[in-house]
Amino acid sequence: MRMEVSQRLASMPIAGGPGTEVQIRENIWLSLKPERPQLYRQLLDSLHVAFDFFTFVCMNLCSAEDIQLEANFCSRTLTSGTIIYPMAYFHYMPVYSPKKQRTPHPMDVLLKRSDLSDHLEPVLARWFETSTQLRSVRVLYLSALYGDHPYVENKFLAMCQAAEVFHRRFHRGEYMDTNRYENEVLPLLIAGIPANLPADLVEVMQQRFAYLNELSLAKRLKDLVAENKEIILKFVPEIKDVLRGIVTARNQFTHFSDKNKRSDLSGETILYYVDVLRMIVELSVLREVGVPSEILKKSAVANERYRRAFRLKRA
């Protein structure tokens, strides 16, 4: 699959007196050109991948109502010498439908075309290269922010999963070497299980021991924060306490017991956790697909959506 990226100015600034609103819009054209014939369904999958990229960088759901396909056969040449290929138009139904269609304000966009400059094409190429690894992350992220469910608990758990799945796909996931754990540690743990325990309990303990070497959610979140620590601390100085709160809340929803019950877990707190997890996932994913650290830092710190979410005032 080859990509071609181009742009054009869609509207020029409007000159006027004080208070006149000035708008500049750019259209970004992304052409996907398969190197060999593909099923229509496969082309739609590629479009989903492209739309998900722009959803991440614009921090607003991006989709399409119609798509246009250009054939590379049965061409005809006009008298001017221009070659015309057959065109086909299809109605494209997005998976997620925003409640309101609106154009995001430039200050709400995480990364603009001018921010990425010459980095746009290599970043897009990396995005498509990792599209299979990122698929579950994208689905969980989109579901949390744009899915048609009203409960904040759904959003929170989906965003927790998005962060955990991303870490599993792109980072080390064990406390110690797997072979060493399985050959030296696991047999000792299993051998230490008392013989007089119920068979069902023994089976469960053996299963849990097998996965005991996998990193916890707390460790995975710490790793992701460490990669973008300078940015995240700007918005969430108490990030260590917030991460503990996120893990405790996740455990309360998925492993409820009187021991981990929190009486102060309000809807406002959960939504705050969703915003923190969203920032962690967005920064981690964009860093992974090759957005340079300095560009990401400059754009994130200036982003008004982050500033509103974390009530950060401009200096």
pLDDT in tens, the chain (315 residues): 555 555 554 444 444 444 444 454 556 667 777 777 777 777 778 888 888 888 888 888 877 666 777 776 677 787 888 877 777 666 565 544 555 556 677 788 899 888 998 999 899 999 999 999 999 999 999 999 988 767 889 999 999 999 999 999 999 888 888 888 888 898 998 888 998 999 898 888 988 898 888 889 999 999 999 999 999 999 999 999 999 999 999 988 887 766 666 666 888 899 999 999 999 999 999 999 999 999 999 999 999 999 999 986 544
For residue 106 the two structure tokens come to 């430039």
Residue 193 sits at φ, ψ, to 5 deg, of -70, 125
- pTM for this model (two decimals): 0.76
**Beta strand pairing status for 83-84 and 76-77?**
antiparallel
- Measured between alpha carbons, how far is 256 from 11 in angstroms, rounded to an integer? 54
- For the chain, count helices (H), then strands (E): 14, 6
CA distances from 260 to 87, 235, 236, 238, 283 (A): 60, 27, 24, 21, 30
Does residue 34 contact residue 43 with C-beta atoms inside 8 Å? Answer: yes
| CB contact at 8 A, 113 and 120 | yes
Cβ atoms of residues 110 and 283 within 8 Å = no
Report which of 146, 38, 162, 46 is spatially closest to residue 98, judged by C-alpha positions. 146
What is the sign, positive or negative, of the torsion defined by CA atoms of 265, 254, 96, 9?
Answer: positive
